[in-house]
Structure 1
Amino acid sequence: MTLYDEPIRFDQARPAAVALAHEVATAGFDVLLVRDVLGRFSLIVDDADKEVAASTEQADRWRESFTGGLGRYSGERPLVLTSVTRLPKTLTASPRALKIVAATGTAGAVRLLDNTVVGEEWSHVTTPPATDDGGTPRPRRTALYGFKGGVGRTTATAVLARRLADQGLIVLVVDLDLESPGVAPLLLGDGTLCTHGVVDHLVESALGNEDGLEIVARSGYNPRNRGELWIAPARGAGTEGVPNAYVDKLNRVYADAEGARFADRLAATVRACEEAVERSDSGRLPDVVLLDSRAGIHDVAAVTISHLCDYALLFGADTDQTWSGYRDLFEAWAASGQAPAIRNKLRMVASMVPDSAHYSKDTHLESLRRNAHATFSVLYDSLAPDEVAGASEGSWDLDDDAAPHSPIPILFEPGLVGMNVPRSPDWQERAFVEAAYRDFLHTAIPLIMAGPAGDSDAESEDDRP
């Protein structure tokens, strides 16, 4: 029997293990919690270099508390003392281990090394370097993501890409919705699809066989102001007379290759797409890269949002499915200590906002804002009773229009439903499309183009020719 009245379940195991680890840390020892792929925990106490190692009595007490408190979620080796068992530095000093904020007065540090089959990258947020190894500034990258599919993310990507190109920018759209690719037909127009795609690069690069792939194509759309629009499709046109074998390739893209995790391989593929534009007749790197991510809690989305982008637009309708899904994701970031690193690069997009005599846009957005604020609050700093939101850099008022939860609206337009884009080449020029995306473009473009000091290179909507 455990410390709980009933057998402990997965949800209770982590907080119980962390609490027990903090108890050990109060004795002055650094602690590493290791969770295996089944969710079981082992407690590694680093006492090898201490003046006084942990005593047998201490070890027995910790082991009993750990196994009693975790039940089936106690690992096969629930307690390891480094003074007794020497462990490799690759384990005890693993850079993948996350520091768990200690309680006041805890002398030792507590870290968590979580071993998972998928989804690990959600809990490791990093900012991509501003320049490459040669000091060349990389393009600004924006991810477009929706927890649920069918919220208009890909269409918004296409509209946004064309508007940015119309402002004289070189724009690259990378289709990372590998299981359901679709942005290329929206943007290609009368252009010619390249032979290979993102999936080809992921497969071939695992074997060092990626040289010579044709992975970007120029759109047939002719932007104003000498802008350029490029596409890196998930699926290329393939070689004539040879089966594409897309499904077979897709089954292999997520594996870790020798010496390279999937996250590193995906980052290298995105960089290869950017460099392919530079090698083309364009002659330089894109100014802006839009990453059309797949929906759901998936490794592609994890890498795209947590590692590859400078900014992430999160799409959602005002539904229980939207908020429960985002809440699960935000709680994972908060539990792993990543809230301060991630919250400033997120912004909510309210998709398919109705505006009719029966239900106005303002009424819908007011409801969505409240639900978004409640959900995003998981990532915000807690305020003392006498504090107001905004006093802390990590807190925002409900009505703060610059807050991550403040929704950027896209109006619902029935004319876009079921539109056959190849037969409607001028679809983005139609008045109902312009009206649906006006607020989205006006707000999102300055956010995307904002530099480190908050400056914007993008023209305002009023300055467009």
Structure 2
Amino acid sequence: MSPRTTPVRFDEAGPLALSLARSVADEEFMVLLVRDVRGRFTLIVDDREQSVDENRERWHAALVEQLTPYVTGRPLTLASQMITADALLNSKRAAPDTLRPSGGAGSVRLLDNTVVGEDWANVSTPGPEVDGTRTHRTALYGFKGGVGRTTATAMLARRLADDGNIVLVVDLDLESPGAGPLLAGPNGLPRNGIVDHLVEAAVGSADGLELVTRTGYAPRSRSGELWVAPARGQGTDGVPYAYVDKLNRVYADLPGSSFADRLADAVEACERAVTLGDSGRRPDVVLLDSRAGIHDVAAVTISRLCDLALLFGADSAQTWAGYGDLFAAWQSSGRAPDIREKLRMVASMVPDTVHHSMDDYLDAFTARSYECFTALYDELAPGEPPSAADEGARYAFAPSEKDDSAPHHPIPVLFEPGLVGLGAGDSRNWQDRAFVKAAYGEFLDTAVRLITAGPGDEEGTR
């Protein structure tokens, strides 16, 4: 191989490192590819069952030659020389190389260390069980702001409460709080918000916070209740509420307490607060209004805290580029199979005019959405069945473009100018107006069905 005349760049280093790791695994070694916070790679090879003496210099030279400057000072490390080899090689944070063909004794896993955003790849089951059941959590997320996500959250919350559910809305858009005032009004907020729990928990003083309030909304069903946990509380009379100073401190990982853990604890604290409320019932449904963008709040919300993630977007180049980057990260980290089936696309601000019909818009949206989501789907060879031949192997997940139950298939929210500037805490039941029902009708019906459906029950009966 001739030497490079230009330096390796970050985008090239990943595929090159993975290719080198696979070549070592093809020689029947278990390998772990570790990337540090600067993007540099170390290849750890498990040599405890067979010697690597004749290969060591060759592997080391290839790593240095092909990856510099994206290699560490020790680009090749042997498990036999490590005290904690098993803990590292079997780390739960290490993702398997799902794109490497199966077969043979070798294997590749990737351990990616980052400063921020690591939780996009840390997929886990959300929430604790109580008496064998667990509150259902739905995240509402948009890669870009301005797509009507918070208004949709309020609409969905009221509809679920009308159906008899105890509903809690948690405002996780910390930089731009909106769900709290929209649902409870500026004067109906509790003293504290999510940001207070994050700050106080960091110093062990989160007990006794007033995190939730029952809104003034009167659901059609007597058993329904609508609660909100705002990002920003109302504060205490006579004491300045230093929201910006608190916000500047919430994202830090502390010894023994990561930001992800503290955010999960905050959501669970809000759920417990509702349980201690008027009816003494725990929430049936929690709606998490996530902030936009590729941010740690969104990462934790989608990857760790929710059962269902509704992904909002308009049909624009920015939408598909953003979701494309996110899906590619999930695929490369090996987490796509763990997360893809809880996603569902929402087409927001869909036009329906004489010159631009809803059907034409949604056809184009669906095609682009499918193209984007294929990064998360399995590839099937022509004529290959969706299940693997080997007993116990997982089923392939490869829905068609026209599959209206697939993650990429959009749930529409129609554009309606009258929705702009809805008043906070409006008591005039604006959700009952004809233009609002027309805009949100299909979205509400579909979202409620997805939220209230039990395992294997797509019709959505509780």
TM, length-normalised to structure 1: 0.93
Residue type of the partner of 1:444? A
**Residue 396 of structure 1 is aligned with which of 388, 395, 399?**
399
Structure 1 residues 43 and 100: alpha-carbon distance in aligned structure 2, compared to 1, 3 A threshold: same
DSSP 3-state at the match of 1:156? helix
Matched residue type, 1:206: A
Q: Match for residue 462 of structure 1?
A: none
Task: Measure the CA separation in 2 of the matches of 1:309 and 1:8.
Answer: 38
Deviation at 1:390, TM superposition (A): 10
The equivalent residue for 1:234 is 231
Aligned position for 2:430: 427
Q: 1:399 & 1:64 partners in 2: Cα distance?
A: 49
Match of 1:272 among 269, 273, 278: 269
Q: Which runs of 5+ in 1 are unaligned?
A: 460-465
Structure-to-structure mapping, 1:61-100, within 5 angstroms: 61-87=58-84, 89-100=86-97
Aligned-partner residue type, residue 272 of structure 1: A
Alignment partner for residue 131 of structure 1, among 129, 132, 144?
129
CA distance in 2, matches of 1:390, 1:78: 39
CA RMSD of aligned residues (A): 2.1
- Distance apart, 1:127 and its partner CA: 2.3
Amino acid in structure 2 at the alignment position of 1:236 = G
Q: What is the deviation of 1:201? A: 0.6
Q: What does 1:122-161 correspond to in 2, within 5 Å?
A: 122-128=120-126, 131-132=129-130, 135-161=131-157
Q: Supply the distance in 2 between the matched residues of 1:352 and 1:310 (Cα, whole angstroms).
A: 25
Q: CA deviation at 1:161?
A: 0.2
1:390/1:397 contact within 8 Å kept:
no
Give the conservation status (yes or no) of the 8 Å contact 1:22–1:103: no
Aligned to 2:202, which of 201, 206, 215?
A: 206
3-state DSSP of counterpart to 2:69: helix
Give the alignment of 1:21-60 within 5 angstroms: 21-47=21-47, 49-50=48-49, 52-55=50-53, 57-60=54-57
SS of aligned partner of 1:383: coil
1:372 & 1:388 partners in 2: Cα distance? Answer: 24
Change in CA separation of 1:345 and 1:421 when aligned onto 2, cut-off 3 Å? same
The count of corresponding residues between Structure 1 and Structure 2 is: 454
Give SS of 1:378's match.
coil
Partner Cα distance (2:26, 2:447) in 1 = 48
User: What are the Cα deviations for residues 247-286 of structure 1, in whole angstroms up to 9, with x where unaligned?
Assistant: 1111111112221222111111111100000011120110
Which residue of 1 is the match for residue 240 of structure 2?
A: 243
How far apart are residue 53 of structure 1 and its match? 2.5
Gap change, CA 1:4 and 1:446, over 3 Å in 2: farther
Partner residue in 1 for 2:105: 107
* 1:463 equivalent in structure 2: none
Amino acid at match of 2:311: L
Q: Distance in 1 between matches of 2:186 and 2:241?
A: 22
| Partner SS state of residue 116, structure 1 | coil
8 A Cα contact 1:198 1:234, kept in partner: yes
Structure 1 outlier segments of 4+, above 6 Å? 388-392
SS in 1 for 2:381: coil
* Counterpart check, 1:182 vs 2:183: no
1:421 CA displacement:
3.4
Q: Which amino acid aligns with 2:117?
A: G
Q: What is the percent sequence identity of the aligned residues? A: 60
- What do residues 124-175 of structure 1 show as CA deviations (whole Å, max 9, x unaligned)? 222226615xx45221000000011100000000000001001111000000
C-alpha separation between the residues in 2 aligned to 1:363 and 1:409? Answer: 12
CA distance 1:103–1:272, change in 2 (3 Å): same
Q: Does 1:195 align with 2:198?
A: no
Residue 374 to residue 390, structure 1, CA distance change in 2 (3 Å): farther
Distance 1:239 1:387, change over 3 A: same
User: In 2, distance between residues paired with 1:336 and 1:60?
Assistant: 28
Distance in 2 of aligned mates of 1:247 and 1:380: 41
> For each residue in 1:323-363, what CA deviation from the matched residue of structure 2 results, as whole angstroms up to 9, or x when unmatched?
01101111111111112211110111000000111111111
| Residue ranges of structure 2 left out of the alignment (5+ in a row) | 389-394
Is the CA contact 1:400–1:406 (under 8 Å) kept in the aligned structure 2?
A: yes
C-alpha distance in 1, partners of 2:237/2:187? 18
Name the CA distance, whole Å, in 1 between partners of 2:386 and 2:84.
46
Match of 2:326 among 329, 332, 348: 329
From 342, 346, 354, give the equivalent of 1:349: 346
> Which amino acid in 1 is paired with 2:158?
R
Q: 1:261 to 1:42 in 2, by over 3 A?
A: same
Rounded to whole Å, the distance in 2 between the matches of 1:390 and 1:320 is 34
Does structure 1 residue 162 correspond to structure 2 residue 158? yes
Match of 2:292 in 1: 295
Distance 1:246 1:373, change over 3 A: same
In the aligned structure 2, how far is the partner of 1:53 from the partner of 1:342? 38
Quote the Cα distance in structure 1 between the aligned partners of 2:218 and 2:416.
Answer: 25
Letter aligned with residue 270 of structure 1? V
SS at match of 1:384: coil
Letter of the aligned partner of 1:27 in structure 2? Answer: E
Find the residue that maps to 1:358 and give its secondary structure.
Answer: coil
Cα distance in 2 for partners of 1:104, 1:119 equals 29
Which deviates more, 139-148 or 119-128?
Answer: 119-128
1:413 aligns with 2:411: no
The alignment partner of 2:80 has SS state of coil
Within 1, Cα distance between the matches of 2:168 and 2:43? 47
Question: What residue is the counterpart of 2:391 in the other structure?
Answer: none
Counterpart among 218, 221, 237 of residue 222 in structure 1: 218
Amino acid at match of 1:29: F
Whole-angstrom distance in 2 between the partners of 1:458 and 1:352 = 29
Which residue of 2 is the match for residue 370 of structure 1? 367
* CA positional deviation for 1:321: 0.5
Normalized against structure 2, the TM-score is what? 0.93
